[in-house]
Amino acid sequence: MFLSTNTCEGKRDCINQCPTKAIKFINGKSFSCLTCGICHKNCPNGAIFQNSYGGYVVDRAKCNGCGMCLYNCPIDNITIEDGIVYGICARCGVCQEACPNRVDGYELEKDKQLNLIRSIQILNPPINKVPHKKESETKMISRNYFGTDMDNCILCGRCSEYCPTGAIHVKIDRDEGICCECKVCEDVCPNGSMNKHQIINKNSCTLCLNCLKACPHEAISVSDFEITVNKLNQKSTGSLISCLNCGLCADLCENDSHKKVDGKLRYDPTCDVENQNHDVAISHCPVHTLAEDGDMFVYDEFKDVELATLSGFCVFCGKCVQVCNEVDARKFMTYSWDGKVSDDCISCGICAEVCQKQAITLNRGSISVDLDKCILCENCAVHCPVDAIPKSTMYKNEIKDGFNFIEQELCMHCGLCYKTCSYDAIDKIDGNFVVNEENCIYCGACKNACPARAFLFERNFKDSIEGI
């Protein structure tokens, strides 16, 4: 609920702006709906719902004007005019924007708020004397993982080749058949004929072709009894995506075959025989390294089938660090976050939608993060359309397309969608708000700002990798 303080001047600006007529003028002061939810609980048609901001909205398509909300309102704030229910606060915040002397009751201490509700007094204490919620101590959440310093990495792909679980994906922006200096050829040469610069000692080379077979980029060929390495003197560009060790896959595992033990991911494929289900974990992997292993299977005797095992997760073996030949390129890292986002946040709500731990709460103009629930999976950052949330990976999900339409029967005409949109994608035509599809990027900020759920909205993402 929004409260008036002793500084209320009685100008009625808040009343004039309220789209649901939820504010009354009593004894020279503005008084509004308590958002107690009694109308919601007693509606026989399920026509009153609570929105994401804690307010209540009437679904006019379901409401038959029976008046149960009116009869049960403890402060007689609800009226019915021409079959339309008014007087219920949607917590749209328009009144607070119209008058600086109104305060959001949710910001008050709980006991103080309850006392105000019980007393139902218009003359509330001045806002500067109202105790506010104490600011919590600065908290940090951390995650350990093996990561890559891209400033030092040459994108040779060596770490990927030696990763036992396929948890590292390297994409090099160059044609196949070009040496990337991964030095795998040097590793497999049985007599040291291939040196670290991929120069061959023709006198000692036995043409065993181990180097040719092992080259991951098909950059080695043989002709006239000579080995040739196809080299291109240029710096490689591309991306390196690896498992974050966030543990989300383990949390989503339905049969306990995949766990996080002492901060490290562990997997027992034999547990998959009776109940194999990793589809949810695979689909929700923040960086999409998790997948079914195409090379290793476990046999199910009861069904007489081979079941694919799981791959693409870091087991903390450290092999990638051991084989990396570039100083400080691949190393043990710690990623930390205090839950803060940049001022670029547009309150689109995508982060809250994709968070599997329900650690993110959408606010108007920002988000709040429960660090006790957050596991730093970075799904929120990966999907953020304006990069307001920090992340440690190059992986990115971009908005591809979507559908956005305002249902005029549900629209309260509060104008929050119009004010919220950062892309001028909401137009006001003949008193109605409509979506400008040409400008809309389908971020969803308008949908989340709407207290009445008047938007019919869909969105599709596409995989992208920054820098490619």
Phi, psi torsion values for 292, nearest 5 degrees: -75, 135
Structure tokens at 425: 């994608």
Please write the tens of the pLDDT for every residue from 339-372: 999 999 988 989 999 999 999 988 777 788 999 9
Residue that the structure tokens 């929004």 belong to: 2
Q: Are residues 124 and 179 part of one domain?
A: no
pLDDT band at 13 (very low <50, low <70, confident <90, very high): confident
Q: Are residues 467 and 343 part of one domain?
A: yes
Q: Are residues 6 and 111 part of one domain?
A: yes
Note whether residue 166 is domain-resident: no
Note whether residue 260 is domain-resident: yes
Q: Which of 215, 235, 255 finishes a domain?
A: 235
Q: Are residues 444 and 361 part of one domain?
A: yes
Q: Are residues 268 and 222 part of one domain?
A: no
Note whether residue 317 is domain-resident: no
Helix (H/G/I), strand (E/B), else coil: 419:
helix
Statement: residue 51 has pLDDT above 50: yes
pLDDT of res. 362: 81
Q: Are residues 346 and 365 part of one domain?
A: yes
Note whether residue 159 is domain-resident: no
Please write the tens of the pLDDT for every residue from 217-249: 899 999 989 999 998 877 778 899 999 999 999
Statement: residue 107 has pLDDT above 70: no
Per the model's pLDDT, the better-predicted residue between 263 and 104 turns out to be 263
Statement: residue 94 has pLDDT above 50: yes
Please write the tens of the pLDDT for every residue from 169-196: 998 887 778 888 889 999 999 999 998 8
Q: Are residues 346 and 304 part of one domain?
A: no
Q: Are residues 199 and 290 part of one domain?
A: no
- Average pLDDT for the chain: 86
Helix (H/G/I), strand (E/B), else coil: 200:
strand
- Domain of residue 461 covers 339-468
pLDDT of res. 132: 43
Question: 429 near 436, Cβ under 8 Å?
Answer: no
pLDDT band at 136 (very low <50, low <70, confident <90, very high): very low
pLDDT band at 138 (very low <50, low <70, confident <90, very high): low
Note whether residue 154 is domain-resident: no
Nearest by Cα to 167 from 242, 95, 219: 242
Q: Are residues 455 and 397 part of one domain?
A: yes
Note whether residue 427 is domain-resident: yes
Where are the strands (E) in 173-279, listed by range? 220-223, 226-229, 238-242, 258-261, 264-267
What mean pLDDT do residues 414-438 have?
A: 92
Q: Are residues 251 and 227 part of one domain?
A: no
pLDDT of res. 390: 95
pLDDT of res. 14: 87
Q: Are residues 443 and 350 part of one domain?
A: yes
Per the model's pLDDT, the better-predicted residue between 148 and 14 turns out to be 148
Q: Are residues 444 and 383 part of one domain?
A: yes
289, 344, 377, 392 from 338: Cα distances, Å: 26, 17, 14, 14
pLDDT of res. 313: 96
Handedness of CA 186, 192, 197, 200 (dihedral sign): negative
- In angstroms, rounded to a whole number, what is the distance separating the alpha carbons of residues 432 and 28? 33
Note whether residue 296 is domain-resident: yes
What mean pLDDT do residues 24-53 have?
A: 87
pLDDT of res. 122: 42
- In angstroms, rounded to a whole number, what is the distance separating the alpha carbons of residues 452 and 450? 5
Tally Cβ neighbours within 10 Å of residue 219: 22
Question: 23 near 31, Cβ under 8 Å?
Answer: yes
What is the percentage of the chain residues whose pLDDT exceeds 70?
Answer: 88
Please write the tens of the pLDDT for every residue from 290-341: 998 877 777 666 667 677 788 999 999 999 999 998 899 999 999 999 999 9
Structure tokens at 307: 């079941």
CATH number of the CATH domain containing 380: 3.30.70.20
Q: Please count the structural domains in the chain.
A: 4
What mean pLDDT do residues 389-415 have?
A: 92
Note whether residue 216 is domain-resident: yes
What mean pLDDT do residues 196-219 have?
A: 91
